[in-house]
């Protein structure tokens, strides 16, 4: 019994460490002061500033648009790629493709950013929304492939034979048999791509130009100038958004059976 209590304490400590920074930000977002040292009095002023900051709001929306667009394209290319790779019979070619697939997964962000920067400059592609979008698509594709591929490997191909036997066309086989079978993989691939895009800082930092910036890059440049409680207000709003999404997801997945709920 005593052991269990110690382990509870340990988990509690880890969770406290994990959440202290977040709640620290949230706490001071309501402070009237100008730093995170002393809490002044309660105020909404930083939220008012945030809502009046049209530049930051535009960046916020653009970041979400970028994430959705890039993960959508990456999911499409990655899924088709995974289907193609799963059908390759030659083991050496397959292994080669999988190795190349994983190169971007294991590369440090700075290397990806730097080499993409050279790449875009060499091709004469201007730095801005386009180059950032292409980069986000590029580094999201491998995770989609890795999420979809196991589903394809588990896929029972006798279902395809059965469907054909019952007179299904190629397209029908694909859309009615194959796609539903691998949909969970595609969804988690899309979800991961979304997280990668929203979370990315380093690659975007390298390949973006003057005209376009994402939330991460914006926060970085503001944070380098020192503490600005408007960022705290933004953190609070983002944390609440994440909470809503996660709680919603948790309820949907726990209602639709115990199998869901695995988030990563």
Partner 1 sequence: MKKRKLIFLVPYLAWIALFVIMPIILITVYAFRDEHGFTLSNFSQFFTNGTFLRMTLNSFWYAFLITALTLLISYPTAYILSRMKNQQFWLLLIILPTWINLLLKAYAFIGIFGKGGLVNSFLGLFGIGPANILFTNAAFIFVAAYIELPFMILPIYNAICDVDPAVMQAASDLGANKWQAFKRVLWPLSKSGVQAGIEAVFIPSLSLFMLTRLIGGNRVITLGTAIEEYFMTTMNWSMGSTIGVVLIFLMIIVMISTSSSASRRKKREVKL
Tokens for 70?
């890039």
Q: Return the residue of 62, 69, 109, 172 that touches partner 1, per CB under 8 A.
A: 109
Number of other residues whose CB lies within 10 A of the CB of residue 236? 21
- The contact mask relative to partner 1 for 157-196 (x = CB under 8 A, - = no) is -------------x------------------------x-
Is 181 within 8 Å of 159 (Cβ atoms)?
Answer: yes
Tokens for 146?
């890795």
The torsion region of residue 246 among left (phi > 0), alpha (psi -120 to 50) and beta comes to alpha
For residues 116 and 138, give the distance between their C-alpha atoms in angstroms, rounded to a whole number.
10
Show Cβ contacts of residue 38 under 8 Å, excluding neighbours closer than 6 positions.
31
Tokens for 194?
């979304």
Q: Return the residue of 58, 242, 244, 252 that touches partner 1, per CB under 8 A.
A: 242
Query: Whole-number minimum distance, CB 235 to partner 1, in Å?
Result: 5
Query: Whole-number minimum distance, CB 52 to partner 1, in Å?
Result: 20
Q: Is 227 a residue that touches partner 1 (CB under 8 A)? A: yes
For residues 116 and 143, give the distance between their C-alpha atoms in angstroms, rounded to a whole number.
18
Interface stretch with partner 1, choices 45-53, 124-132, 177-185, 222-230 (CB under 8 A): 222-230
> Exposed/middle/buried for 184, CB within 10 Å: 0-12, 13-18, 19+?
middle
Cα separations (Å) of 219 from 62, 165, 171? 14, 58, 46
Q: Is 118 a residue that touches partner 1 (CB under 8 A)? A: yes
Q: Is 1 a residue that touches partner 1 (CB under 8 A)? A: no
Interface stretch with partner 1, choices 42-50, 111-119, 146-154, 175-183 (CB under 8 A): 111-119
Q: Return the residue of 108, 124, 211, 257 that touches partner 1, per CB under 8 A.
A: 108
- The contact mask relative to partner 1 for 64-103 (x = CB under 8 A, - = no) is ------------xxx-xx-xxx-x---------x--xx-x
- Which of 38, 19, 46 is closest to 232 using CA atoms? 46
For 115-158, give the DSSP string: HHHHHHHHHTPPSSHHHHHHHHHHHHHHHHHHHHHHHHHH--TH
Task: Report 3-42 residues binding partner 1 (CB under 8 A).
Answer: 7-8, 10-11, 14-15, 17-22, 24-25, 28, 35-38
Query: Whole-number minimum distance, CB 51 to partner 1, in Å?
Result: 18
Query: Whole-number minimum distance, CB 176 to partner 1, in Å?
Result: 16
Task: Report 127-146 residues binding partner 1 (CB under 8 A).
Answer: 134, 138, 141, 145
Q: Return the residue of 50, 59, 117, 182 that touches partner 1, per CB under 8 A.
A: 117
């Amino acid at each position: 019994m005593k052991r269990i209590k110690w382990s509870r304490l340990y988990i509690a400590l880890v969770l406290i460490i994990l959440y202290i920074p977040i709640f620290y930000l949230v706490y001071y977002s309501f402070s009237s002061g100008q730093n995170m040292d002393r809490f002044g009095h309660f105020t909404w002023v930083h939220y008012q500033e945030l809502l009046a900051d049209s530049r930051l709001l535009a960046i916020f929306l653009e970041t979400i648009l970028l994430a959705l667009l890039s993960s959508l394209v990456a999911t499409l290319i990655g899924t088709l790629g995974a289907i193609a790779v799963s059908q390759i019979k030659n083991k050496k070619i397959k292994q080669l493709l999988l190795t190349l697939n994983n190169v971007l997964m294991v590369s440090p962000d700075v290397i990806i950013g730097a080499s993409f920067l050279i790449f875009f400059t060499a091709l004469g592609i201007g730095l801005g929304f386009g180059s950032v979008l292409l980069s986000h698509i590029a580094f999201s594709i491998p995770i989609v492939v890795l999420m979809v591929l196991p589903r394809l490997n588990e896929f029972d191909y006798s279902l395809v034979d059965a469907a054909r036997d019952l007179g299904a066309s190629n397209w029908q086989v694909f859309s009615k048999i194959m796609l539903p079978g691998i949909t969970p993989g595609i969804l988690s691939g899309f979800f991961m791509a979304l997280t990668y895009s929203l979370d990315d800082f380093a690659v975007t930092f390298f390949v973006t130009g003057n005209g376009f910036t994402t939330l991460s890059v914006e926060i970085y440049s503001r944070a380098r100038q020192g503490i600005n409680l408007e960022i705290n207000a933004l953190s609070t709003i983002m944390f609440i958004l994440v909470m809503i999404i996660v709680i919603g997801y948790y309820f949907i997945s726990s209602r639709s059976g115990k199998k869901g709920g695995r988030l990563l």
